[in-house]
Amino acid sequence: MALVVQKFGGTSVATAERIMAAARRAIRARQAGYHVVVVVSARGDTTDELIALAHEITDRPPSRELDMLLATGEQVSIALMAMAIQALGHPAISFTGAQIGIVTDSFHTRARIKNISTRRLRQALAEGNIAIVAGFQGVNDNFDITTLGRGGSDTTAVALAAVLKHDPAGPFPEVDCEIYTDVDGVYTTDPRLVPEARKIPAISYDEMLELASLGAGVMHSRSIEFAKKYDVPIHVRSSFTDAEGTWIVPETAWMHQVPVCGLAMVRDEARVHLAGVPDLPGVSHRIFSALADAHLVVDMIAQNVGSAGRAEIGFTVLQSDLSQALTILEPLAREWGASLTYEERLCKVSLVGAGMKTHTGVAQRVFQVLGDAGINIRMITTSPIKISLLVDRDLGVTALRLIHRAFRLHEPRPGEQEWNTIKADILTPRRTVPAPLFGTAGLLSSMEDIIVSDIALEDTHGRITLQDLPDRPGVCAHIFSAIAAAGIVVDMIVQNPKGQGFAELSFTVPRENLEHAWHIARRALQEIHPSGRAIADPDIATVAVEGVGMRSHSGVARRMFGALAQQGINIEMISTSEIRVEVVVERRHAQAALECLRRAFSRQSVCA
Ligand code: ASP
Ligand code: MG
């Protein structure tokens, strides 16, 4: 029998009336012949209220007790939902995370799922019940209650769908996963900020993963990791209507017809800058492993090309993690005699699209739009399917609107019609899906372990570095429109401010275009800053670790930088995203870098 996991978010269970409506929906699915598992969040603003309550007692609620408290929100919802379904005449039974055997690690308030036992759930379903499960919570090996991080009920829902789909005790090959929420799908960007944003009918796992982790609030990004790893298509839709929402599915060709599918913004970012760190192997590793030890997710990372044995590293963290990051880095900065500075009130705007892999000139268009509007871009990082820009917080929404317009995201995406014709095929259960969970080849010690799908070496590009780039609006637009006019395709871009009104900009281009690009870039730079210096370096190579959850599992970068450090290989540029962490190294180290990364990631599951 087919099975559906229906997840209802906080607003969908906020009142008794809405709980009854959700209950009726679950019953309809049961009557249509599905086994039904319902996952619920805490009602309305309960979780926020509980956090506020804890802070009335103490400034620093111990995280174990905070989890104990927060988990009660979902417990209220499951009991009410079970009562509602029973009142409508259908058998139902509620379970906490612990009862259903959701076992996590012990990182309170941000725990990761290790495994889920399906025994109790299967039994409840076999007895004809609709099973109601509390989202967002689990237990560690000591039976202490843990929570999965804000928004974590999505992750519970998709994880349950994944585990049931591949259950060795008898898989449910036909598993649907529906996320019911107060919006009717995933939009090109937040419609509250950009009213002309449009609903996207379908989006790929990778695009959604990037968007969710770059600030699109619709879905918890870890839930999309599960969806991709275990191939669980998700339908995000409104709990108030029966209209189709957005399907999150494997990537297909029509998605490449446009370069950009959506935009996301993170409003509260802070930038940390370390200047004068030794330009030696192992330095990045020490910085980022210290941060990873505290489970801090580092966001945009930009490393300037070293000179006179010293390098500069800038990165962003969430504003709320800033003070912890500074505390961790102070002793390191002291040891190196480096200066540690930071900047607040920044926001990150990101463009995402699988089509970026094949469309050129995307970065140049964005720079032009912002340059024309007089918006200064503080920092830039790119990946194959995203561009992230750091701007002043007050200018974030303006930037978002301008970019949305410039890429015509208010219009239907070409190829959308095609989706309707291929949809049935894509959603047809593929009974032979590989089971990454339990298969002999892909046995994961823990469900949220990282899967690294590839270690890639690219030895085709050279790098241009512009030092002393005036840090003001329009400069990037000027440089990259000159490069684009020459038909040169730019790959990775990193820009990092270095203080005193200057920034450093590096980008890679195909080696055969390097000299040409260098002439153009130097001329363009000198038009705005006569003594500006441009350096071309043909002898670089890029090594990348690809997979799912590469950025939010801070352990990936740590392992990567650690392996290179041990090998004595200096990292010259870094770019991170959810699907890929890539670094530039000296070309003579390319092969050694590839081999040491292959060794480091040879056990397919890696790190929490
Ligand atoms: N109740 C939790 C929160 O508000 C989990 C969730 O809603 O997904 O973050
Ligand atoms: Mg929620």
For residues 530 and 523, give the distance between their C-alpha atoms in angstroms, rounded to a whole number: 9
Q: If you measure from the C-alpha of residue 8 to the centroid of ligand 2, how many angstroms do you get, rounded to a whole number?
A: 9
Which of ligand 1's atoms lies nearest the C-alpha of 151?
Answer: 8
Q: Model confidence at 430, in pLDDT bands (50, 70, 90)?
A: low
Q: Which CATH number is 263-410+453-606's, of 3.40.1390.10, 1.20.140.10, 3.40.50.300, 3.30.2130.10? A: 3.30.2130.10
Q: If you measure from the C-alpha of residue 125 to the centroid of ligand 1, how many angstroms do you get, rounded to a whole number?
A: 25
Q: φ, ψ for residue 546 (rounded to 5)? A: -115, 150
Name the nearest CA neighbour of 262 among 183, 204, 346, 192. Answer: 204
pLDDT score of 605: 40
Q: If you measure from the C-alpha of residue 427 to the centroid of ligand 1, how many angstroms do you get, rounded to a whole number?
A: 28
Q: What's the whole-number mean pLDDT along residues 488-504? A: 87
pLDDT score of 441: 31
DSSP state of 605: B
Is the pLDDT at 573 greater than 90? The verdict is: no
Which of ligand 1's atoms lies nearest the C-alpha of 48?
Answer: 4
pLDDT score of 437: 45
Q: Model confidence at 578, in pLDDT bands (50, 70, 90)?
A: confident
Q: φ, ψ for residue 325 (rounded to 5)? A: -65, -40
Q: Model confidence at 296, in pLDDT bands (50, 70, 90)?
A: confident
DSSP state of 600: H
**Residue identifier of the C-alpha nearest atom 8 of ligand 1:** 151
Name the residue of 47, 49, 145, 220 whose CB sits within 8 Å of the most ligand 1 atoms, as the mutation to test its pocket.
47
Task: Indicate the length of the chain as a whole number.
Answer: 608
- Alpha carbon separation from 232 to 34, 86, 162 (Å, rounded): 16, 29, 6
pLDDT score of 383: 85
Q: What's the whole-number mean pLDDT along residues 433-439? A: 45
Q: Which CATH number is 3-255's, of 3.40.50.12280, 3.90.420.10, 3.40.1160.10, 3.20.20.70? A: 3.40.1160.10
Q: If you measure from the C-alpha of residue 249 to the centroid of ligand 2, how many angstroms do you get, rounded to a whole number?
A: 22
Q: If you measure from the C-alpha of residue 41 to the centroid of ligand 2, how many angstroms do you get, rounded to a whole number?
A: 6
For 336-378, how does the pLDDT look when each residue is reduced to its tens digit (9 = 90+)?
999 999 999 999 999 999 999 888 889 999 999 999 999 999 8
pLDDT score of 442: 35
pLDDT score of 154: 96
Averaged pLDDT of the chain:
90
Q: φ, ψ for residue 314 (rounded to 5)? A: -120, 145
Is the pLDDT at 438 greater than 50? The verdict is: no
pLDDT score of 429: 59
Domain boundaries defined on the chain: 3-255, 263-410+453-606
For 109-131, how does the pLDDT look when each residue is reduced to its tens digit (9 = 90+)?
989 999 999 999 999 999 999 99
Which of ligand 1's atoms lies nearest the C-alpha of 10?
Answer: 7
Is the pLDDT at 195 greater than 70? The verdict is: yes
DSSP assignment of 307-361: BTTEEEEEEEEEGGGHHHHHHHHHHHHHHHT-EEEEEEEEEEEEEE-GGGGT--S
Is the pLDDT at 427 greater than 80? The verdict is: no
Is the pLDDT at 47 greater than 60? The verdict is: yes
Q: What share of the chain is helix, strand, coil (3-state, %, to 5)?
A: 35, 30, 35
For 92-115, how does the pLDDT look when each residue is reduced to its tens digit (9 = 90+)?
999 999 999 999 999 999 899 999
Q: What's the whole-number mean pLDDT along residues 23-45? A: 97
Is the pLDDT at 606 greater than 50? The verdict is: no
Cβ(264)–Cβ(352) below 8 Å: yes
Q: Which residue has better confidence, 561 or 442? A: 561
**Residue identifier of the C-alpha nearest atom 6 of ligand 1:** 151
Its pTM stands at: 0.88
Q: What's the whole-number mean pLDDT along residues 169-192? A: 91
pLDDT score of 246: 95
pLDDT score of 358: 84
Q: Model confidence at 603, in pLDDT bands (50, 70, 90)?
A: low
pLDDT score of 412: 87
**Residue identifier of the C-alpha nearest atom 9 of ligand 1:** 150
- Within 6 A (CB) of ligand 1 lie 10, 41-42, 47, 73, 135-136, 150-153
For 534-554, how does the pLDDT look when each residue is reduced to its tens digit (9 = 90+)?
999 999 999 999 887 787 777
Q: In the chain, count H helices and then E strands.
A: 16, 26
Q: Six-digit token pair at 450?
A: 């990282």
Is the pLDDT at 434 greater than 70? The verdict is: no
Name the nearest CA neighbour of 576 among 596, 555, 598. Answer: 555
Q: What's the whole-number mean pLDDT along residues 241-263? A: 91
Q: Which residue has better confidence, 446 or 521? A: 521
pLDDT score of 260: 95
- Alpha carbon separation from 326 to 272, 278, 329, 454, 577 (Å, rounded): 8, 19, 5, 33, 23
For 439-468, how does the pLDDT look when each residue is reduced to its tens digit (9 = 90+)?
333 335 577 777 788 899 999 999 999 988
pLDDT score of 192: 92
Cβ(190)–Cβ(168) below 8 Å: no
